[in-house]
Each structure stands twice: as structure tokens, then as C-alpha cells.
């Protein structure tokens, strides 16, 4: 499968909502703990991604997508940059997802590499995420240079209601070279990465979808 990783611009984020909703529903059906319980209605998935698209348009987050040869979305990850004033150097990673039909092709690793590039372009050098204990995603992050700082038992629920532990990770990035231009819209990103068996990351569950009320912005 020929995969392209790119950043979605503010003007086109809304056009990706349907494809992103498909990926989210598939991941939840496959048992991934990514902030939603099963079964996940497509309407709810669409509403979530519409909120994300609005956040991209406001400049509050960066949205990356992985697309196949036909232009269909098969994976995604976000960088949340709307943080408190005393954290201008930091960003949260959220909703790294790969559709089941596109797994075991290194897409998750490529999304992570592209995310590092996007973070540097935004001037963010400290990244934070969380995931499910013992899953493929946890091993993927360790291979990609993320540092595990601890785990909270029974922090969240799997889609079927089973409690699961949540480890937290951080990564420090070297700043972008002085004078480097920031990414401002759709642009090719990422490159060949390690093959990943990660079904779907729960990166960014902490305060990013599962535990926020419907009145809060999606994470």
C-alpha cells in the first residue's frame, strides 16, 4: 500500500471529517481505547471530528493524516497546541489511529516521525502523551524515543468497559534550525519508519476526549 503522510490545512480539515470518522469507528470496533465506548455511532464520530476541524481552523491543533493511493484516510494523529500561557514550548499528542486494514505497514511509526517535524515547525520541543498498558502502541513509543514516566492503574476503560492502566510518556525535541519556516498548511511529512504492529494508539486520552464533557473542545 502506497501511503502519503501530510498535514491538513485549516481550509480543508472539514473535508476530511467523513474519512476520519471511519477510522475512529473502526478502531473502537477493534477494541482500541481511544476515548469512546462501543458501539460508537457514526454520528458521534462525525461530531467529534467536526470539533477537531474547527480547532484546526482556529489554529489550536495540528492534524496529520495518512492516505492511501485512492486518497482515503487510513490513519491520523494530532498535536494540540492550545495550552496555558506558561507552556508555549509544549504540546499534547492525541488520537493516533490506524485503520485495521492498513496496519503492520509502518504507518504509525511514520505518523510519529511526521509529528516530530510538525512540532518543531510549531516551536514545540516538549511533547506528552498517554496510552494503554501493555499494548503495541506502548512498545512503539519506546522504540520512537519516548520516555515512560509511570502508569496509573485503572485510569480508563476499554470500549467494552474493562478497566485498563494508562502509562504516560514524554519526548524532548531539538529546536528547529534558526530561520526554519513553520508549517502553515498541507505539506508532505514523514518518511519511511519502523514497521509498527500498533493497532491504534490511545495517545492523548488524558483530557482529550474520554474524560471531557461534551461541552468541552474535543481532544
Going by pLDDT thresholds of 50, 70 and 90, the confidence category of residue 211 is very low
Provide the residue count of the chain: 219
User: Which of 34, 28, 108, 129 is closest to 66 using CA atoms?
Assistant: 108
pLDDT at 206 over 50: no
Torsion of CA 70, 72, 77, 81, to 10 degrees: 100
pTM of the model: 0.83
Contact 110, 191 (CB under 8 A): yes
pLDDT at 28 over 80: yes
State the first-to-last Cα distance of the chain, in angstroms, to the nearest integer: 29
Share of the chain above pLDDT 70, in %: 81
Domains in the chain with CATH codes? 4-172 (3.40.630.30)
Amino acid at each position: 500500500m502506497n501511503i502519503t503522510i501530510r498535514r491538513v490545512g485549516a481550509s480543508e480539515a472539514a473535508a476530511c471529517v467523513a474519512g476520519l470518522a471511519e477510522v475512529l469507528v473502526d478502531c473502537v470496533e477493534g477494541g482500541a481505547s481511544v476515548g469512546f465506548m462501543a458501539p460508537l455511532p457514526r454520528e458521534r464520530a462525525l461530531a467529534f471530528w467536526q470539533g477537531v476541524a474547527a480547532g484546526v481552523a482556529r489554529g489550536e491543533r495540528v492534524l496529520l493524516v495518512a492516505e492511501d493511493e485512492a486518497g482515503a484516510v487510513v490513519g491520523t494523529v494530532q498535536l494540540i497546541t492550545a495550552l496555558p500561557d506558561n507552556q508555549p514550548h509544549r504540546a499534547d499528542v492525541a488520537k493516533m489511529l490506524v485503520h485495521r486494514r492498513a496496519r503492520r505497514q509502518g504507518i504509525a511509526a511514520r505518523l510519529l516521525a511526521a509529528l516530530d517535524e510538525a512540532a518543531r515547525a510549531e516551536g514545540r520541543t516538549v511533547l506528552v502523551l498517554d496510552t494503554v498498558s501493555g499494548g503495541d502502541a506502548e512498545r512503539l513509543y519506546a522504540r520512537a524515543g519516548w520516555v515512560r514516566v509511570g502508569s496509573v492503574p485503572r485510569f480508563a476503560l476499554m470500549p467494552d468497559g474493562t478497566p485498563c492502566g494508562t502509562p504516560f510518556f514524554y519526548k524532548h525535541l531539538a529546536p528547529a534550525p534558526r530561520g526554519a519556516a513553520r508549517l502553515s498548511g498541507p505539506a508532505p511529512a514523514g518518511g519511511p519508519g519502523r514497521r509498527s504492529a500498533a493497532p491504534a494508539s490511545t495517545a492523548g486520552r488524558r483530557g482529550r476526549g474520554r474524560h471531557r464533557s461534551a461541552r468541552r473542545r474535543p481532544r
